[in-house]
Homo-oligomer: A and B are copies of this chain.
């Protein structure tokens, strides 16, 4: 299905969006959620226990949407990777302890006797944007999500670029600074290690250690912030005085917006890295469209404008003139809509 023409004709699907902290389940018609059930993943989310909770959530979601299982044409599952989308086996997601080579697709297929497709969560979100969001009408596009981590999803002629093991498009793990820090993935100087929410927060905490003014500025604002940390949040750190600090990317952006020099520097550095990442994507894929999503992009022009300036300055003219760079449209529902989109994309 390369483009959805009439949204009302779309059959119903179930979308399951598995994350490290919560699982969301919905009955969907295209991008419309007819019901939604959220459940916490919990600390001991061994596969058997979590899967049985998901079965319950699916039953509840069907009830809430007044829908019977036989009205559903398939179940799409977005899960943290690495996973093999061809076989539906989830390998060892770093934030899903206890998960090891789980044949998620076959488990669900056997339980429901319905078509089931499993895809890396970012690829699913990319497909959601492609079919129902900012990517509608395009044939090929790149989705870049900048959040706690940085992920990518690439659609070429309507199909997810999966690679031989379904782990392609790890666009946050392109080395852009060969002399940089080691990334969580084991590689050096990845885009994620410089421009993710976690990286921005880490750099702010490091900067605070060496700059009393910056630390004071941050400390005064911390009480407001501790409760609201939609963006990446560092684990609680202690500074020299033994005081706890908790600074996230949102607070750093707020400080930068008010002109605090160290915060400006950190945000500008992340923006430059994002601009380099975008330039790399343009040179690699020569895409028609790049869609930017994820909480960190909500920092807005302060982050995005210098990034686009880098693209103007550095990308080759022909592919630079051909690309449109836009914001994602599906927001926090991207994962669920994307999970459902797996069914629309695979069953025509």
Contact = CB atoms under 8 A, between A and B. Distances in A.
13 contacts: A140-B164, A163-B285, A163-B287, A164-B322, A168-B284, A168-B285, A169-B284, A170-B319, A173-B316, A175-B276, A176-B178, A178-B273, A188-B314
> Which of under 10, 10 to 19, 20 to 34, or 35 or more describes the interface residues of A?
35 or more
Contacts of A156: 156, 161
A345 to B, nearest CB: 16
A314 B173 CA distance: 10
Interface in A290-322: 313-316, 318-319, 322
B285 A161 contact: yes
Interface in A151-186: 156, 161-171, 173-180, 185-186
A135 interface: no
A187 interface: yes
Given A82-B316, A173-B316, A176-B178, A167 B273 contact: no
Contact of A82 (B140, B273, B315, B318): B318
A24 to B, nearest CB: 26
Given A140-B163, A319-B167, A178 B276 contact: yes
A147 interface: no
